[in-house]
Structure 1
């Protein structure tokens, strides 16, 4: 099986979610460190312009978004599952809802504490090309009470859920734990210690530390040039886990489609439909230098339309 290649940057909290999933599974992987914002000249041809991080590469198969990366890791490396038996639906749904609900409020709390340290060019990029809002401290300050209230309310049910068991779905960590944990990790790693008291995090610290202790598996550095060459020299794997006519909207294999995130970083990616389900869509792209690629996206959170 080709190496697992993760394109990521250190302070990306969604990358931390995948790094920890790799650690939970005890996997060796290749680490390609990318910039926190475009341009990424050797990654963009692999993703068709998709600009969010992380991206998982397996040969010439490119997995975009953590909600397709984690299921792919579990399919390709089923040991130490991220989805305890019977839990995949609740784990994926809970993780998606948590991240959608809390992403902007968590940023609001974060910039309240460290906003003056965020580079102006990063703020400009997030406003113009990613989130569509100004995340500077002055701009977000008026909403801080609402953001704080939203985070505390979510943490309230989390404390209840973890009151009698070590992880959200029982005795072992799951994809749901990683989705929830990564947002709290963003705050605890970057904010002063008083954030714990402000948010009522003390009862959650044992759970938090159990996940933090998982680590990141065994990464080995790889250059963007090396990763690009792997894609160029590889062929996409046959899609055997999805039916070619399984698209819930009636799209058929072979038709041109456009895939676009429905929330932020709304860069459309064009390709030819290979296979789809109500969980995942796979499209084929041919890049003049990288060659033939299969791009994998989760269905939830993305618009898939005939081009």
Structure 2
């Protein structure tokens, strides 16, 4: 198998989710650091437009969104599993809640003035302003939850996690599953990146103890990789052919059509390409870039829209 290449940056909560899963599964991986804000020319050469963090590259196959990346890593290394049979559905539902509702409340809490001062300590004012403008553009004009509204919501969510952890080491028992990694990463940002605001965790000692267990998993074996090297690896590789994947048509759009895929609520930059697969859980586009060559860009169905390109 080709190297696992993670395109990310150190402060990204969603990247921390994947870094820990790589450590949990004891996978070796290459690390490409990308900018926190646009433009991201090396990344978008691979994705065709998608700009959210992280992105997983395996040769000429590019995987977008951590929900899909989790599934890919599970296929590569089935044990230890992220999806135990006894509560597979519940674990996915909690992970989806954590990646959306919990993340939104936690980050609104984290990015009040005291948190911003720590995240951007030493950065020029124009850098902070550029970050704020970039994230406002990613929201597509939608309002951000205020830190005051976030306070009560975040506290309630922490209590719910504490209830799940009572009497056990992880959210669903003795071993971590996908729900643990999804719930951990926004709390990680509070504790590790905005420690001035981490007192909100003190009322839930079971959560803090669980966080220590999650942190101890580590990131596995990573090695640095330059963006130019990752692009060259994509250019020299051939995308993996679809393995008898059943076409599931929900849109009346045939395989081979030129389509646009975009996230449905945050980070709305579109990716255009030829639809080469639409399965029960994912879409795959074929596209060609002069720097990356011909690649397959993969997206989960959930959270993304598919539209046919019209002349």
TM-score, normalised with respect to structure 1: 0.91
**What's the counterpart of residue 123 of structure 1?**
132
What is the CA distance between 1:47 and its match in structure 2?
0.4
Runs of 4+ in 1 over 6 A off after TM superposition: none
Does structure 1 residue 45 correspond to structure 2 residue 48?
A: no
Aligned counterparts, 1:108-119, within 5 A: 108-112=108-112, 113-117=114-118, 118=120, 119=128
What is the alpha-carbon root mean square deviation over aligned residues? 1.9
**What's the counterpart of residue 73 of structure 1?**
73
Higher mean Cα deviation, 207-216 or 35-44?
Answer: 35-44
What is the CA distance between 1:193 and its match in structure 2?
5.8
**What's the counterpart of residue 149 of structure 1?**
152
Distance 1:194 1:100, change over 3 A: closer
Aligned counterparts, 1:205-244, within 5 A: 205-240=208-243, 242-243=245-246
Q: Does the 8 Å CA contact 2:159/2:204 hold for their aligned counterparts?
A: no
Question: Could you give the per-residue CA deviations for residues 8-53 of structure 1, whole angstroms, max 9, x where no partner exists?
Answer: 0000000000000000000100101111112222211100010101
CA distance in 2, matches of 1:111, 1:43: 26
Higher mean Cα deviation, 83-92 or 211-220?
Answer: 83-92
**What's the counterpart of residue 294 of structure 1?**
296
Aligned counterparts, 1:117-266, within 5 A: 117=118, 118=120, 119-130=128-139, 132=141, 143-192=146-195, 195-197=198-200, 200-240=203-243, 242-243=245-246, 245-266=247-268
- Which stretches in structure 2 are left out of the alignment for 5+ residues? 121-127
CA distance in 2, matches of 1:205, 1:9: 25
Q: Secondary structure at the match of 1:305?
A: strand
Higher mean Cα deviation, 19-28 or 29-38?
Answer: 29-38
Distance 1:153 1:278, change over 3 A: farther
CA distance in 2, matches of 1:251, 1:176: 33
CA distance in 2, matches of 1:89, 1:80: 17
How many residues align? The count is 300
Q: Does the 8 Å CA contact 2:261/2:305 hold for their aligned counterparts?
A: yes
Q: Does the 8 Å CA contact 1:247/1:278 hold for their aligned counterparts?
A: no
CA distance in 1, matches of 2:272, 2:251: 17
TM-score, normalised with respect to structure 2: 0.90
Higher mean Cα deviation, 125-134 or 47-56?
Answer: 125-134
What is the CA distance between 1:133 and its match in structure 2?
5.6
- Which stretches in structure 1 are left out of the alignment for 5+ residues? none
Q: Secondary structure at the match of 1:56?
A: strand
